[in-house]
Amino acid sequence: LGSSRRNIGVQPLLDAIVDYLPDPSQRPPPPLIANTLARIQNYSASQDHISPALLTFKILFDPQRGALSLCRVFAGYVTPGMQIKNWTRSDLDNSSITEKIGGLMQLTGDAYENIERAGPGYIVALNGLQSTRTGDILGPVLAESVTKAEDVMEGDLENAFVPQPVVHAALEPRSSLAFRNLEKALTCMQREDPSFKATFDPETGQWVVAGMGDLHLEVVLSRLRREYKLEVSMGPLLTSHKEMPQAGSKFVSTSVNTGK
């Protein structure tokens, strides 16, 4: 028996994991895109010749480094400067989204360590990815001859299920400066949290935010004030009232000429 709270048996358990469980590099690559990967790589090959497969589980925004995509490497190796394809965004947008890894880092608390290579089992932070969001799958850049119908995602790296928002509210900036910076802040928060949505309603002039509940939106409001230093408040949605004439009518105007 052990206790993590009292630090009893923790170190022997970690040592046993290292000594007895298989190394991540020894496992076969996951069937990320089964039909396609089978055509471009040999599953019995070593990890050095296997195309990369990564799962993005979080997006962080660092004041100095910008957006950091936290990923786990499931297969292959990634290096700084490598071209990689966002399979999730490409599937949703019906296009091919390819990005370049600007930097490759390991995180230890608040410390960032630049590394030159990361293989299976690594938890890394990728810098320079502009389209990647939480839950996205990153994979190899394939030849144009591979058709979309053959890109069947299955197996260990399935896309995360994102439920639709159920609660809506309006954000009201208290100053013109807060209004200008609000769009950038909401864009960053949507990349971090796929279940959070924000749109601007041009008819009412309000930013409409949607989430999984009142507590979810309260956390969003608190972060806008604390992390982004924005003076905003949350209130009810405005509804634009519209009317449409159902039938035509005649209007006769008469005027009296008084000679003046």
Q: Provide the 10 A C-beta neighbour count for residue 96.
A: 14
pLDDT, tens digit, 9 for 90 and up, residues 15-32:
998 889 887 767 665 555
Q: How far apart are CA 247 and CA 228, in angstroms?
A: 52
Q: Provide the 10 A C-beta neighbour count for residue 131.
A: 15
Q: Provide the 10 A C-beta neighbour count for residue 233.
A: 12
- Is residue 36 classed exposed, middle or buried when 0-12, 13-18 and 19+ CB atoms within 10 A define those classes? buried
Per-residue tens of pLDDT for the chain, all 260 residues: 788 888 899 999 999 988 898 877 676 655 554 444 454 444 434 445 577 888 898 898 887 888 899 999 887 889 999 999 888 777 665 667 888 999 999 988 888 899 999 988 899 999 989 888 888 888 887 654 444 434 444 444 555 677 889 999 999 998 888 888 999 999 989 988 889 999 999 888 899 999 999 999 999 999 999 999 999 999 888 887 778 878 777 777 776 666 65
Q: Provide the 10 A C-beta neighbour count for residue 167.
A: 13
DSSP state, 21? S
**Domains detected in the chain:** 10-150 (2.40.30.10), 167-235 (3.30.70.870)
pLDDT, tens digit, 9 for 90 and up, residues 86-135:
887 776 656 678 889 999 999 888 888 999 999 888 999 999 898 888 88
Q: Provide the 10 A C-beta neighbour count for residue 86.
A: 24
Q: How far apart are CA 223 and CA 208, in angstroms?
A: 16
pTM (2 decimals)? 0.67
Q: Angle formed by the axes of helices 214-226 and 176-192, to 10°?
A: 120
